[in-house]
Amino acid sequence: MFTKAETLISFRNLRPKKKEGFLKIISIFSFLGIMLGVAILIIVMSVMNGFKTDLTNKILGLNPHIVIQPNSFKIDDSYINVLKKNFDNLSISKSYSGEGIIINNNNAKGVILKGVNKKERNIIEFFKNYTTDGNIKNFEANSVFIGSELSYNLNLKKGDNISLMSSAFIATPLGSLPKQENFKVAGVFSTGFVEFDHNIIYLNINDVLSIFDKENSDQNIEIYLENPLDANSYKEEIQKINQNYFIYTWSDLNKSLFSALKVERNVMFIILSLIVVVATFNIISGLTILIKNKTKEIAILKTLGLSNNSIKKTFFLTGLTIGFFATLSGIILGTLVAINIEQIRIFLSVIFNLEIFPSDIYFLEKLPSEINVSSILIIFFISLLISAISSYLPAMKISKMNTFRALRYE
């Protein structure tokens, strides 16, 4: 594609003479601008990919993949048997949850009361992975497990007594009052998902049915899949069995959240790509000045028989070389920062005494990062394409140069 002579002239252009110091400065700024633009793109995309993946894993690890609600109809054992017969790879459990209020030492807070069966495999795995204080063996009747954030905010610990109030009402001589029962804190769990740890209380299934004044037939069916991404296809198949029940998946509950993340990611990519575009303007200005300063040399090369096309290629290769090595450096820098982003966050937080990436706003305890090879390749090719266009535009002007006039005054 490029001859030896074209390559030699191109690399010589990258080493401007001492009197061309300004041109050297422009080249340096071109290099740094593209490098930083590519690095920032990789860092931001990696953080956003990591945030989405971490959030998805948290949601999938803490919530059922498919939920079947009775919807005013009863869910009997025959329906569950049909599910097990048609889908032998499903993990099926029963639960019930509703809104309630926790009361302790004159403090009250709205929470979600979730009733579970501690003997089910998914529940055993949950408490095994996330319990920080207490033991599932102590999770008996009239006992609860609370999240670490809730425990901290209400100053609760294992062994403390609390009151829970539900939305169910009971008749009294004073009228209908919310149903309220006393419980003992059997343990504390910490998932790292702040909203979850702050708002969920686990009860035994019989306790939650009692406090909400419900029956066994009112329980929901929770389904866990080997591949949670197949939830929507399973939902359609399950819906065909019985249209009376209300069925939803984890993605249905979080559709708006993930749609917003996708839009934000795409917008950020477009906006940050403009950094690379702006940086490549330095290549255009630098090559334009270089071509003007090299008018005499270009005229001599033409006189010696070098074609316009070859001279264009030499200057095009000069700009493309700057863009290529700047892009490569940006990828290396961005990847290194993305890998160590959490350590950098901690360092900056300590140095400047600032809380960067607060967990109460972003739901997660640490700054996530996930390097996506396909994203890096897309950034690489886009940066290289922009650099190529920026190098090609000034090189086109060479064909309009008058060789005779350039030599006439030498």
Please give the average per-residue pLDDT across 342-349, as a whole number. Answer: 83
pLDDT recorded at residue 219: 84
Give the model confidence (pLDDT) of 274-331 as tens digits.
Answer: 878 887 777 777 777 777 766 677 677 766 666 777 777 877 888 888 888 889 999 9
Residues 6+ apart with CB under 8 A from 344: 337
Give the model confidence (pLDDT) of 88-116 as tens digits.
Answer: 777 888 888 888 889 887 788 889 899 88
Residues 6+ apart with CB under 8 A from 230: none
Q: What is the mean pLDDT of the chain?
A: 80
Residues 6+ apart with CB under 8 A from 102: 108, 109, 111, 146, 150, 154, 162, 163, 164, 165, 201
- Cα distances from 406 to residues 16, 297, 338, in angstroms, run 20, 9, 51
Q: Using pLDDT thresholds of 50, 70 and 90, give the confidence band for residue 145.
A: very high
pLDDT recorded at residue 72: 76
pLDDT recorded at residue 316: 80
Give the model confidence (pLDDT) of 359-371 as tens digits.
Answer: 656 556 677 888 8
- Which is more confident, 123 or 15? 123
For the ranges 14-28, 124-138, 295-309, 364-378, which has the lowest average pLDDT?
14-28
For the ranges 155-159, 231-235, 283-287, 329-333, which has the lowest average pLDDT?
283-287
**How many CA atoms lie less than 13 Å away from 373 in the CB half-sphere?**
0
Please give the average per-residue pLDDT across 124-145, as a whole number. Answer: 87
Residue 141 has pLDDT above 80, yes or no: yes
- Which is more confident, 40 or 317? 40
Residue 67 has pLDDT above 60, yes or no: yes
In DSSP terms, 133 is beta-bridged to 188
Q: Using pLDDT thresholds of 50, 70 and 90, give the confidence band for residue 404.
A: low
**139 vs 141: CA distance, rounded Å:** 7
Residue 19 has pLDDT above 70, yes or no: no
Domain boundaries, the chain: 4-57+257-408, 91-224
